[in-house]
């Protein structure tokens, strides 16, 4: 019985083993015979590589939910020359790509500063190095990208380390006839000319450099340079033998290889070389048909701007710069022990893009990619999906922002002063210091930043300068409310106190005493006036006397509490400005005089403020003395807008306890500016609300017009917004009253429109 059972088990094992062998044989037959060709192709894959996939960046919206910046999917072309086995294959592939781009009208990235057709010449006056002149020391030479590559490739000697060769060698002086006679009488033999000194090689011309590049890059073709023209000019060029390649093709090929060599030689290591971006289907089809090895076409995202306004506030996105690689690749914001950025990542640059990078960026994903020998993707496997960035909602009102930018662009060039240059305007919410608008004129277009960079960078009006936050100006008479508040709160004066304007303030001396503007212009006097009237007529004499009795330390203390000479807390880059006083004067090596306080009390001397500081000072004044930090961030929402991730928490920077009677006396003076002043009243009399305001003009020099400054708030009874505006060399501040009235009119009209009840079933973000 046991023997039969044993045999049955043996046969069962034999049958099972036979089935397994048969199955394996069938599988092998299927692999090698039926599907052998398919799997052979798979054996031609390159080794799978792991890629970091940047996440979609969050959107930027204004306070009303209008999208300002989002993402757009485009196709870009990159090159992987490691897949091109020979130099000939590399050159032919790149040339085929260049010719396809020409046929489809596609522009490709080529920053080689040599013209693209004959006669070849440098397109910049400083192809190899730039010269700067620091305050201390002599001229400093800095290599350009081309210069750094040329030194590494040994095309030139480093011009920053050797003396630049003279254009003409100094010829030995030929002895005159008298010298020859003297030497003959003395029996001296004629001196032999010293052997020529071997100096650094002269920097090559564009023709010579292109020839050297063609030789180094192994671009072989006759006609890459105009050899006859070079020889006629006494230049030497490398011997080339490039067959039928035209000089234009050789130049185009050199331009692409120049970009690749910049990166492979670590001259420019911030990003991979993108041959062309945002290419259309016609170009993609033409390239695909040629099946070019190492040419990779893939989808990516770029920032799309839905507004032409607020360029200084929004910022842009760029690759990580070479000098930032170490910082970003070691930056660990999420605390996982690994750097959050890779070398080829992009980062926010300026404006909201940089300030709110932590919210906008999201979390990158990872995937493995398998490519065949030609670089074509055959398979992808996601290791971790990218997490899109959050959406940032700003305090900005883009409608108001656009209105002000258009207003400045239309009005400033028409001002009477021919010296007018730039302008700026800031609008703040009085209660919480939210930034509603900040316009700087002239501005620029973020969508065409790179294409228009050279033009804007060379513009003497400096459109890249954000005059609203970084431009600093004397506040002029707009400072007088600080002197008034300080005098009232320190019991130097009361609302009813009157001071007689005598034209010239002779407290210290009768020789060149400071004068009231009214006396200087008309030889007149404001007479006996109180603080409200002094603000209305902007009487310098009144504030000279109040400032003197306050003392500089007390006056500076109040100015600091109102925020002058200090940053306002904004998330974007801003200047701190300067508050005049003994400390600042002495820091510059000057001498502070007691009488200097008269200039400080009327907003002159060395005080320099931004329009953001002025607007926040007015907001602080009319809200009763609470100085809030200004801010651009309102809240952060998740990528799908389903939840609020972060909400801005207000910050109080300082407080000033202003007695109601004192505040009313100061505000009444500002109201009188718009209701009594003949130069300002016409612009505000037809508004459906009352406005408090103050004009100012600050003399920069005797040779130029003064800067025009204007501040205001509205409505008078329950202030909502504060406005500060400046026009460089715009003369009197009253010239800005018209523009400020238009800003207020637009804001409150738009507010009424937005407050209308939406219709039923209307989608609200």
DSSP result, 67-103 = EEEEEEEEEEEEE-GGG--SHHHHHHHHHHHHHHHHH
Please give the full DSSP string across 170-230, using - where no structure is assigned.
PPPPPP-HHHHHHHHHHTPPPPPPPPPP--PPPPP-HHHHHHHHHHHTT---TTSS-HHHH
Alpha helices (H) along 227-331: 227-232, 247-264, 281-290, 311-314, 325-329
Residue 469 near residue 575, CB atoms below 8 Å: yes
On the question of pLDDT at 338 being above 80, the answer is no
Once rounded to an integer, what is the mean pLDDT over residues 211-222?
Answer: 79
Distance CA 522, CA 528 (A): 17
Please classify residue 322 by burial: count the beta carbons closer than 10 Å to its beta carbon, then call 0-12 exposed, 13-18 middle and 19+ buried.
Answer: middle
240 has which bridge partners?
none
On the question of pLDDT at 533 being above 90, the answer is yes
SS (H, E, C) 715-742: CCCCCCEEEEEEECCCCCHHHHHHHHHH
Distance CA 562, CA 615 (A): 10
Once rounded to an integer, what is the mean pLDDT over residues 102-131?
Answer: 89
- The owner of tokens 């065409």 is 448
Once rounded to an integer, what is the mean pLDDT over residues 414-425?
Answer: 82
Residue 581 near residue 619, CB atoms below 8 Å: no
Distance CA 16, CA 20 (A): 6
On the question of pLDDT at 758 being above 60, the answer is no
**How high is the pLDDT of residue 169?**
35
Distance CA 680, CA 504 (A): 26
Distance CA 54, CA 180 (A): 81
Distance CA 609, CA 482 (A): 14
Distance CA 71, CA 127 (A): 35
Backbone angles phi, psi at 556, to 5 degrees: -65, -40
**How high is the pLDDT of residue 40?**
59
Strand 274-277 to strand 67-79: parallel, antiparallel, or no bridges (unpaired)? antiparallel
Please classify residue 754 by burial: count the beta carbons closer than 10 Å to its beta carbon, then call 0-12 exposed, 13-18 middle and 19+ buried.
Answer: exposed
Please classify residue 333 by burial: count the beta carbons closer than 10 Å to its beta carbon, then call 0-12 exposed, 13-18 middle and 19+ buried.
Answer: exposed
- The owner of tokens 């992987």 is 80
**122: helix, strand or coil:** strand
User: At CB < 8 A and 24+ separation, what contacts does 155-158 make?
Assistant: 155/204, 155/209, 155/212, 155/213, 155/216, 156/128, 156/201, 156/203, 156/204, 157/200, 157/201
Residue of 78, 80, 88 whose CA lies nearest to 46? 80
Helices and strands per DSSP (H, E), number in the chain = 26, 23
Distance CA 147, CA 262 (A): 11
Please compute, for residue 450, the number of CA atoms within 13 A of its CA located in the half-sphere on the CB side.
5
Distance CA 157, CA 519 (A): 68
Distance CA 330, CA 591 (A): 48
**How high is the pLDDT of residue 222?**
44
Give 579's pLDDT tier (boundaries 50, 70, 90): very high
Alpha helices (H) along 361-397: none
Q: Which residues contact 699 (CB under 8 A, 6 or more apart)?
A: 474, 604, 706
Distance CA 337, CA 741 (A): 55
**How high is the pLDDT of residue 232?**
61
On the question of pLDDT at 366 being above 50, the answer is yes
- The owner of tokens 């490519």 is 371
Q: Which residues contact 684 (CB under 8 A, 6 or more apart)?
A: 674, 675, 690, 691, 693, 737, 741
Distance CA 635, CA 643 (A): 11
Among the listed ranges 345-354, 366-375, 741-750, which one has the minimum average pLDDT value?
A: 366-375
Type and span of the H or E element at 636: strand 633-637
- End-to-end CA, the chain: 84
Two structure tokens written together for 283: 């170009």
What's the predicted TM-score (pTM) here? Answer: 0.79
Residue 742 near residue 736, CB atoms below 8 Å: no
Number of residues written out for the chain: 765
On the question of pLDDT at 246 being above 90, the answer is no
Residue 495 near residue 487, CB atoms below 8 Å: no
Once rounded to an integer, what is the mean pLDDT over residues 151-180?
Answer: 61
Once rounded to an integer, what is the mean pLDDT over residues 255-266?
Answer: 88
**How high is the pLDDT of residue 177?**
44
**How high is the pLDDT of residue 12?**
79
Q: What is the pLDDT of residues 465-501, one digit of tens each?
A: 999 999 999 999 999 999 999 999 999 999 999 999 9
Distance CA 297, CA 280 (A): 11
Residue 224 near residue 247, CB atoms below 8 Å: yes
**499: helix, strand or coil:** strand
Greatest Cα pair distance, the chain, in angstroms, is 143
**How high is the pLDDT of residue 664?**
97
C-alpha dihedral, 113 to 83 to 364 to 353, nearest 10°? 10
Backbone angles phi, psi at 4, to 5 degrees: -65, -40
Q: What is the pLDDT of residues 42-60, one digit of tens each?
A: 555 556 666 666 778 999 9
Residue of 547, 539, 490, 532 whose CA lies nearest to 517? 539
**140: helix, strand or coil:** strand
**How high is the pLDDT of residue 719?**
97
Among the listed ranges 511-520, 625-634, 669-678, which one has the minimum average pLDDT value?
A: 511-520
441 has which bridge partners?
423
Q: Taking the alpha carbons of 212, 217, 220, 222 in that order, is the dihedral positive or negative?
A: negative
Give the DSSP letter of residue 387: B
Distance CA 364, CA 650 (A): 32
E strands, 537-579, in order: none
- The owner of tokens 């050159």 is 91
On the question of pLDDT at 588 being above 50, the answer is yes
More confident residue, 377 or 393: 393
Average pLDDT score over the chain: 85
Q: Which residues contact 506 (CB under 8 A, 6 or more apart)?
A: 513
On the question of pLDDT at 266 being above 80, the answer is no
Say if residue 193 is preceded by a cis peptide, omega within 30 of 0. Answer: no
Type and span of the H or E element at 424: strand 423-429
């Amino acid at each position: 019985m046991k023997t039969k059972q044993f045999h049955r088990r043996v046969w069962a094992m034999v049958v099972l083993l036979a089935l397994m062998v048969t199955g394996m044989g069938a599988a092998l037959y299927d692999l090698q015979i039926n599907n052998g060709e398919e799997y052979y192709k798979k054996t031609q894959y390159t080794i799978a590589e792991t890629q970091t996939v940047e996440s979609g960046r969050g959107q930027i919206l204004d306070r009303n939910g209008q999208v300002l910046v989002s993402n757009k999917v485009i196709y870009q072309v990159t090159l992987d020359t490691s897949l091109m086995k020979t130099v000939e294959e590399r050159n032919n592939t790149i040339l085929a790509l260049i010719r396809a781009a020409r046929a489809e009208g596609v522009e490709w990235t080529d920053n080689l500063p040599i013209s693209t057709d004959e006669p070849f010449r440098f397109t910049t006056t400083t192809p190899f190095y730039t010269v700067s002149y620091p305050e201390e020391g002599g001229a400093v030479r800095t290599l350009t990208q081309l210069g750094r590559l040329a030194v590494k490739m040994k095309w030139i000697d480093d011009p920053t380390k050797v003396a630049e060769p003279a254009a003409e060698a100094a010829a030995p002086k030929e002895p005159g006839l008298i010298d020859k006679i003297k030497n003959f009488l003395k029996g001296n033999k004629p001196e032999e000319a010293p052997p020529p000194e071997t100096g650094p090689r002269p920097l090559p011309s564009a023709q010579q450099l292109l020839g050297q590049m063609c030789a180094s890059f192994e671009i072989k073709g006759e006609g890459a340079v105009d050899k006859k023209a070079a020889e006629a000019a006494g230049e030497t060029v490398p011997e080339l033998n490039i067959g039928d390649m035209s000089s234009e093709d050789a130049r185009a090929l050199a331009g692409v290889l120049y970009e690749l060599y910049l990166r492979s030689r670590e001259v420019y290591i911030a990003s991979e070389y993108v041959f062309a971006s945002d290419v259309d289907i016609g170009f993609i089809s033409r390239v695909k048909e040629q099946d070019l090895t190492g040419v990779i076409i893939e989808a990516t995202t770029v920032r799309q701007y839905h507004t032409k306004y607020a360029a200084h506030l929004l910022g842009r996105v760029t690759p990580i710069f070479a000098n930032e690689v170490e910082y970003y690749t070691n930056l660990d914001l999420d605390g996982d022990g690994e750097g959050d950025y890779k070398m080829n990542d992009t980062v926010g640059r300026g404006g909201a893009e940089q300030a709110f990078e932590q919210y906008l960026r999201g979390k990158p994903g990872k995937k493995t990619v398998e490519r065949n020998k030609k670089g074509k993707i055959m398979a992808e496997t996601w290791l971790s999906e990218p997490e899109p960035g959050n959406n940032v909602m700003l305090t900005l009102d883009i409608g108001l922002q656009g209105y002000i930018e258009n207003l400045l662009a239309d009005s400033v060039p028409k001002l009477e002063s021919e010296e007018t240059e730039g302008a700026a305007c800031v609008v703040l919410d009085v209660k919480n210091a939210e930034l509603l608008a900040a316009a700087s004129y002239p501005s620029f277009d973020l969508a065409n930043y790179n294409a228009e960079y050279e033009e804007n960078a060379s513009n003497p009006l400096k459109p890249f300068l954000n005059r609203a936050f970084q431009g600093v100006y004397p506040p002029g008479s707009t400072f007088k409310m600080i002197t008034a508040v300080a005098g009232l709160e320190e019991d130097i004066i009361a609302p009813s106190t009157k001071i007689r304007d005598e034209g010239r303030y002779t407290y210290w001396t009768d020789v060149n005493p400071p004068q009231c503007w009214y006396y200087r212009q008309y030889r007149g006097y404001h007479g006996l006036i109180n603080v409200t009237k002094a603000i209305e007529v902007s009487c310098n004499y009144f504030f000279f006397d109040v400032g003197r009795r306050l003392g500089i330390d007390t006056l500076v203390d109040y100015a600091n509490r109102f925020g002058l000479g200090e940053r306002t807390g904004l998330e974007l880059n801003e200047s701190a400005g300067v508050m005049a006083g003994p400390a600042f004067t002495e820091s510059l090596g000057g001498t502070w005089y007691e009488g200097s306080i008269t200039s400080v009390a009327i907003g002159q001397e060395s005080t320099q403020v931004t329009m953001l500081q002025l607007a926040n000072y007015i907001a602080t004044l009319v809200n009763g003395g609470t100085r809030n930090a200004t801010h651009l961030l309102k809240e952060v929402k998740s990528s799908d807008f389903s939840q609020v991730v972060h909400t801005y928490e207000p910050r109080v920077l300082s407080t000033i306890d202003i007695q109601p009677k004192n505040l009313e006396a100061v505000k009444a003076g500002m109201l009188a500016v718009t209701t009594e002043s003949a130069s300002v009243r016409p612009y505000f009399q037809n508004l459906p609300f009352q406005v408090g305001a103050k004009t100012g003009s600050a003399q920069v020099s005797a040779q130029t017009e003064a800067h025009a400054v204007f501040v205001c708030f509205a409505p008078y009874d329950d202030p909502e917004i504060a406005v500060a505006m400046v026009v460089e060399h715009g003369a009197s501040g009253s010239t800005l009253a018209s523009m400020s009235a238009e800003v207020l009119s637009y804001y409150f009209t738009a507010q009424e429109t937005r407050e209308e009840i939406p219709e039923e079933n209307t989608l609200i973000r």
